[in-house]
Structure 1
Amino acid sequence: MRVYYFACAITLSHFPSWTNTPETLLLVCLLHDLGTTPANLPSTHLSFEFHGAFLSLNLLMSLSSHTAQAESIAETIIRHQDLGETGSMTELTAAVHFGTLLDNAGKFVELVDRVTVESVVKAWPREGWTGCFAHVLREEMGRKPWCNSTRIEGFVELVQGNGVMAEFD
């Protein structure tokens, strides 16, 4: 939920013309780490983003979601850690980038008021999230040395060095 509220705050403050629906953004934020669960991470050779996207796509389609919405959510889940500096992405993917990178790495904090960060973390406590997520990354990289997270040089260290959220962990 933190990613959702951070993404909403950044989008509303800095990108008011973006047309993401709150429901679609919420679904991405609820599902984006589905591939990291203890049952899902070791169940495939796929990187967690890809596996989670396929699981989410199948779930949403089984619930009669509109194909365009379900595929947009899956695309965003696949790309939510795509930190490359070239190419294009949808507004939805960009919003989720802002939210996840703020929560996981302390990036883009200048786009959110300190009171907003404090309010979100108070409502949705981190409860050691930095260590938990760093552990998941190390576990996946150990199990799957080819995984997508290995493309982000120093990613575990970036997560562990999240000074913005350190006081809330």
Structure 2
Amino acid sequence: MSVTREEAIKLYGWKALPVEPTLKLWLGDKKFLTAPVPQLCSQVPLPDTSVVKACVEYAKAELPEHIFNHSMRVFYYGMAISGQQFPDWEFTAETWLLTCLFHDIGAVDKHTHGTFMSFEFFGGILALDVLKQKKAPVAQAESIAEAIIRHQDSAEVGTITTIGLLIQLATQFGTLLLVSPCASELALLSNARVDNMGFRSELVHPDTIVDVTKNYPRRNWSKCFSTKIREENDVKPWAHSTAIGFDEFPDSVKNNSLMEPYDAKF
């Protein structure tokens, strides 16, 4: 089914939003716009399309279980955040699920050691190729690829796609990290992760977290991902993850106190 450019922008989450994962523009000094309510996995049906079926099969074959589970947790957290806090953000659930499934595909061991590109850049390109092979619309595949490439973008000015901002929020629950790039200067970086770092936890009801982690256990995710970040930084000292801090980023992931009670669940 062909769609117009305007329709594609709405369907595939292309609408430009400010690059503002701290959410100060939307929340001000509030913790949330609407008090979050429990949203269970059983209340959020997965899109039942041929593209989704093919990509879930691909993801399960390519991703280790702890990364697949993380991807699914990001899907459910993002659905809760967007539906309860930002209901006017436009995109299809299919587009969001596909973005989540592929967002860390570049962090698989064979790509860490078999490529030179930063994991999110390679992952975006790989996702674009696979999605086209699975017959996803080009405009949808490109939206997903762009969101993946920018999901660790620490920029604080300009704009980003709706799906791009949501993947930052669902993995990065914007808060401010103090990072010292040199002795005389402090830089404020956004991009702090909900499933990875546990920031902006007020946007998701605790019962939602309990249910999501029950269905998709963390399997020591905090330790696994912080180790992966350091591994990539060692193999690729130019990696884009270093923009969030060589030590600050993996340390923040490892010390995710919000998710600590769930981390040992398998």
TM range (shorter): over 0.9
Aligned residues with identical type, % of pairs: 44
- The answer to which of 84-93 and 137-146 deviates more is 84-93
Indicate the residue corresponding to 1:163 in structure 2: 257
Rounded Cα–Cα distance in structure 1 between residues aligned with 2:233 and 2:255 = 18
Structure 2 SS opposite 1:86: coil
Amino acid at match of 1:168: Y
Quote the residue 1:60 is aligned against.
131
Give, in whole Å, the separation in 1 of the partners of 2:216 and 2:154. 25
Q: Which has the larger radius of gyration?
A: 2
How many residues get paired?
169
The 2-side partners of 1:162 and 1:93 are apart by 23
Structure 2: 5+ residue runs without aligned partners? Answer: 1-71, 172-192
Cα distance in 2 for partners of 1:119, 1:108 equals: 18
Q: Return the offset for 1:103.
A: 0.2
User: Distance in 2 between the 1:61 and 1:95 partners?
Assistant: 22
Match for 1:144: what amino acid?
Answer: K
Provide Cα deviations, 1:9-65, integer angstroms capped at 9, x if missing partner. Answer: 000010001111100000010010000111111111100001111111010111221
| Structure number with higher strand proportion | 2
SS, match of residue 42 in structure 1: helix
Indicate whether 1:103 and 2:195 are aligned: yes
Contact 1:8 1:95 in 2 (8 A): no
Q: Which has the higher contact order (CA 8 A, sep 6+)?
A: 1
Aligned to 1:138: 230
Name the CA distance, whole Å, in 2 between partners of 1:165 and 1:84.
26
TM-score, structure 2 normalization: 0.62
Look up the equivalent residue of 1:132 and give its one-letter code: C
Inter-partner Cα distance in structure 2 for 1:22 and 1:84: 26
- Report the CA distance between 1:94 and its aligned residue: 1.4
Could you say which residue in structure 2 is the equivalent of 1:27? 98
Residue 83 of structure 1: CA displacement?
2.8
Q: Secondary structure at the match of 2:110?
A: coil
In structure 1, distance between residues paired with 2:203 and 2:230: 29
Distance 1:99 1:40 in 2: 23
Note the alpha carbon deviations across 1:90-148, whole angstroms, 9 max, x for none: 11111111111210010121111111111111111101000110111000000000000
For 2:119, give the aligned amino acid: F
| Runs of at least 5 residues in structure 1 that lack an aligned partner in the other structure | none
In the TM superposition, structure 1's runs of 4+ consecutive aligned residues that sit over 6 Å from their partners are none
